[in-house]
């Protein structure tokens, strides 16, 4: 992999993490998580081995499903509270869905089988 491309993906990882941590709105937190997802996939599949490609595809599919759950959780919360603020997570269904989405993104048990 080109060193400049590797540097760009590494900087994108840092940017996505910074955006996610510093956000107070659900959409900006989601955008930061998606930047991280899109930056790590080329780094996973840089060796053109079939196992690396399989790991990148598994990573992408699980991260896409977890992002969908995160957006659905934030939509349910906004529907019930009327706010898109991260600190106003008070509805139990949205809390459960958010916890599930974060567990999938982190590869926690019982969602650890996909972890490359």
Tens-digit pLDDT profile for residues 53-84: 888 888 889 889 999 999 999 999 999 988 88
Cα–Cα distance between 24 and 68 in angstroms, integer?
19
Q: Tokens in use for 98?
A: 């958010």
Cα–Cα distance between 81 and 59 in angstroms, integer?
32
pTM of the entire predicted model: 0.80
Q: What domains lie within the chain, and their CATH numbers?
A: 3-106 (1.10.287)
Pair 89, 75: CB distance under 8 Å: no
């Amino acid at each position: 992999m080109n060193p400049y491309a590797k540097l760009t993906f590494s900087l994108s990882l840092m940017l996505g993490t910074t955006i996610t941590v510093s956000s107070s709105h659900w959409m900006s937190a989601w955008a930061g998580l998606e930047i991280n997802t899109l930056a790590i996939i080329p780094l996973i599949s840089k060796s053109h081995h079939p196992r690396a490609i399989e790991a990148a595809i598994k990573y992408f599919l699980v991260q896409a499903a977890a992002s969908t759950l995160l957006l659905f959780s934030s939509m349910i919360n906004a529907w019930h509270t009327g706010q898109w603020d991260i600190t106003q997570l008070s509805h139990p269904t949205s809390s459960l869905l958010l916890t599930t989405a974060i567990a999938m993104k982190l590869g926690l048990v019982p969602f650890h089988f996909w972890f490359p």
